[in-house]
């Protein structure tokens, strides 16, 4: 069976507090914490997505005591890649000296990390020894800095997991879903082949957008469904639930609908905001360090696509 052998995370050094968002009127800056539970976030300064991801992977390998040359595969989950091509994973591979692996990206927005863990699990079952999963996002560079509805609520960071044949937590189960009828709910409208840059009529189309009410309803419904499903199938009550760090009100509603005591929901979005696909792995790294006695851990994620997913980790 595949296991989580080690975890790590990296947050850029630059801390941006709500009071630093001076492009917005002061009366609105006070609402950010109340509306989403966010007080600070990190912004990459002179770093791109592969730089941030590489720092997390370097920490992971050092922590695990595994040589970069022993890694068989590297999967990067990102929805804010360095470039349309090549894969961001290949630059992380080069930066970290992972010479003997194959490397590729997946993009399932904020659900990407769990999708990547599922792929890593399959690769280990197929005979690979070590697979690195890194979820890395630099959302500050795909957001419109003038958009009060999005810019204050996102941050940058990376989380990484080493999956192998033994380890601290067994990867017991996954559930993966998507619904393409909601493909336009969360998107960056331009810069791809659907709307090349030369066809852009409004520069706002170059930036991340979402339909807030639809996202809230979707996240609360699907995020709680995943938890109820895992609990029912496995007959366990999680010691810790690690949700995608989207919004404190979403997390509280998921807890209520899934009948999870709020104290079991791990959160760190007050410090990092929504780091997209990286959020659940950053939270996993922090939670397992703070709560080493947790035996049953559920992950629940949701994002663009629309996509949602979950995972059950059991202490070995």
The domain ranges of the chain are 3-166, 173-315
Active-site residue flag, 244:
yes
Q: For 24-67, how does the pLDDT look when each residue is reduced to its tens digit (9 = 90+)?
A: 998 888 889 988 999 999 999 999 999 999 999 999 999 999 99
Query: Helix, strand, or coil here: 155?
Result: coil
306, 183 contact by CB (below 8 A): yes
Alpha-carbon span 88 to 50, nearest angstrom: 6
Catalytic residue among 18, 107, 247, 274: 274
* Whole-prediction pTM: 0.97
- List the beta bridge partners of residue 131: 73, 163
Tokens 């999005």 correspond to 150
Q: Can you name the CATH fold of 3-166? A: Peroxisomal Thiolase; Chain A, domain 1 (3.40.47)
Tokens of 266: 């791990």
Does 3-166 match 173-315 in CATH topology? yes
Q: Looking at residue 120, what is its pLDDT?
A: 98
Catalytic residue among 48, 76, 96, 110: 110
Active-site residue flag, 274:
yes
Q: For 178-195, how does the pLDDT look when each residue is reduced to its tens digit (9 = 90+)?
A: 999 999 999 998 888 988
Which residues, 6+ apart, have CB-to-CB distance to 291 below 8 Å? 239, 240, 266
Q: Looking at residue 14, what is its pLDDT?
A: 98
- Domain 173-315 belongs to what architecture? 3-Layer(aba) Sandwich (3.40)
CA angle 212, 248, 59 (to 5 degrees): 105
Low-confidence ranges of the chain (pLDDT < 50): none
Catalytic residue among 43, 128, 244, 296: 244
Q: Looking at residue 27, what is its pLDDT?
A: 87
Alpha-carbon span 266 to 303, nearest angstrom: 18
């Amino acid at each position: 069976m595949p296991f989580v052998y080690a975890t790590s995370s990296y947050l850029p050094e630059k801390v941006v507090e709500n009071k630093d968002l001076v492009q917005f009127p002061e009366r609105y800056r006070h609402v950010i914490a109340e509306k989403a539970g966010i007080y600070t976030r990190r912004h990459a300064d002179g770093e791109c997505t592969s730089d941030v991801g590489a720092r997390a992977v370097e920490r992971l390998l050092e922590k695990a005591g595994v040589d970069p040359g022993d890694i068989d595969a590297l999967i990067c989950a990102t929805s804010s890649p360095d470039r349309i091509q090549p894969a961001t994973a290949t630059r992380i591979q080069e930066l970290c000296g992972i010479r003997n692996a194959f490397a590729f990206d997946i993009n399932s927005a904020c659900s990407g990390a769990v999708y990547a863990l599922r792929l890593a699990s399959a690769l280990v079952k197929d005979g690979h020894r070590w697979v690195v999963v890194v979820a890395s996002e630099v959302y500050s560079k795909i957001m419109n800095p003038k958009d009060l509805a999005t810019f204050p609520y996102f941050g940058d960071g990376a989380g990484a997991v080493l999956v192998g044949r033994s380890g601290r937590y067994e990867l017991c189960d996954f559930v993966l879903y998507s619904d393409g009828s909601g493909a336009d709910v969360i998107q960056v409208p331009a810069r791809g082949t659907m709307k090349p840059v030369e066809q852009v009529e409004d520069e706002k189309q170059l930036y991340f957008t979402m339909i807030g009410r639809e996202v809230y309803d979707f996240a609360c419904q699907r995020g709680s469904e995943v938890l109820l499903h895992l609990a029912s199938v496995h007959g366990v009550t999680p010691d810790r639930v690690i949700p995608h760090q989207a919004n404190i009100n979403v997390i509280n509603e998921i807890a209520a609908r899934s009948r999870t005591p709020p104290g079991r929901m791990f959160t760190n979005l007050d410090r990092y905001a929504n780091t997209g696909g990286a959020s659940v792995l950053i939270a996993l790294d922090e939670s397992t360090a703070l709560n080493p006695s947790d035996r049953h851990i559920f992950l629940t994620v949701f994002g663009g696509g629309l996509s949602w997913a979950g995972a059950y980790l059991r202490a070995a």
